[in-house]
Amino acid sequence: MAPGRRGEGLLTPALIFLAVLAAWEALTRLRDIKAYILPSPSAIVRRLQTDWPTLASNFQVTLAEMLLGFGLAFVVAMTLGILIAHSPAIRRGLYPFVIASQTVPVIAIAPVLIIWFGYNILPRVLVTALLAFFPLTVNTVTGFQVVETELVNLFRSLNATRAQIFFKLSLPTALPFIFAGLKVSATHCVIGATVGEWIGTDRGLGHLIVLDTAQLDTPRVFASIVLLSLSGIALFLAVSVFEWIALPWRHGHAARRPLFRLLSQRILRSRKTMAAISEKEA
């Protein structure tokens, strides 16, 4: 294991980010670009500070829509994914509609949702879920379909029940795909919540962006964008952390054990393990 790897992996993007910020700042100052056309990074940060109460209260609303939409998308996608993967009849009957749902422009359907469900959080959550459920559904279906026939046969030869095959074979096989889908969905949630707020609401960062754009308050538009982007990144990272915990076998050779068991383990065993590894590698 190279301990420096992780640090190096972060260093390069951090340097690039700083370089871009510096160039941006320099450009706006040297060419004297007006703030309503392109605000400098420092102006955006200042705006984040001065308008924090307004931004924060709107951010809360958007964040709630994102998370609720993400949750709804997760429930719908898992249900659909499992049904589609396990029943050819449902696959033939439902999958075309799942795909068709993605060809309907979300911006076009959002006003209709408001007519149906009124001026409340529900239409925005639905728009978010509508954007987020698709990648997760497709990945879930794929995950359940890549289960090897030979492994199913092994389980069957051991007289496993359908439930055992699902929970001990299909689900663990599908999990890496489900997490891949969740990561894409997480980023879609930001788009869904923002776009949902462009139509028919008086709250949220999406709504604030519409207002500020009309008043050429570009620095605050950028401040909103920064917050939206950060929340998307945070959601993505949250999924990644959860994946790291749920799939230990994807990134390590040995199982992580709970601390209390780890302490009770004799040091001897780990010595033996190290010896065995070096033997294997030699």
Partner 1 sequence: MPSGAVELSVEDLYCSFRDLQGHPLPVLAGISLSASENEFVAIVGPSGCGKSTLFNVAAGLVLPESGSVRLNGVDIAGSPGHVAYMMQKDLLLAWRTIADNVTLGPELARKPRSSYRDRALDLMRRFGLEGFEHFYPSALSGGMRQRAALMRTILCDKSLLLLDEPFGALDALTRAAMQEWLLDIWHDFRRTVLFITHDPEEAVFLADRIYVLTSRPARVKGIVPVSLGRPRSHKTIATLQFAQLKRQVLDLVWDEGADALRGRLGPEGPPAAGASRENR
- Is the Cβ of residue 75 or residue 275 nearer to partner 1 in the bound state? 275
Instruction: Check: CB of residue 25 under 8 Å from CB of residue 42.
Output: yes
Binding mask 233-252 for partner 1 (x = CB under 8 A): --------------x-x--x
Q: Which stretch binds partner 1 (CB under 8 A): 14-22, 26-34, 88-96, 160-168?
A: 160-168
Binding status of residue 154 toward partner 1 by CB under 8 A: yes
Binding status of residue 31 toward partner 1 by CB under 8 A: no
Instruction: Check: CB of residue 48 under 8 Å from CB of residue 223.
Output: yes
- The SS3 assignment for 38 reads coil
The minimum distance between CB 143 and partner 1, in angstroms, equals: 13
110-149: which residues touch partner 1 (CB under 8 A)?
148
- Give CA separation, 237 vs 116, 179, 232, 250, in Å: 34, 12, 9, 17
- Is the Cβ of residue 100 or residue 163 nearer to partner 1 in the bound state? 163
- Is the Cβ of residue 20 or residue 151 nearer to partner 1 in the bound state? 151
- The number of angstroms, rounded, from the C-alpha of 37 to the middle of its chain's C-alpha atoms is 31
DSSP secondary structure, 131-188, as one string: HHHHHHHHHHHHHHHT--HHHHHHHHHTT--HHHHIIIIIHHHHHHHHHHHHHHHHHH
φ and ψ at residue 103, rounded to 5 degrees: -90, -10
Binding mask 178-207 for partner 1 (x = CB under 8 A): ------------------------------
Which structure tokens are listed for 272? 């033996």
Among 153, 213, 215, 229, binds partner 1 (CB under 8 A): 153
Residues at the interface with partner 1 (CB under 8 A): 148, 150-151, 153-160, 164, 168-169, 172, 175, 247, 249, 252-255, 257, 269, 272-273, 275-277, 280
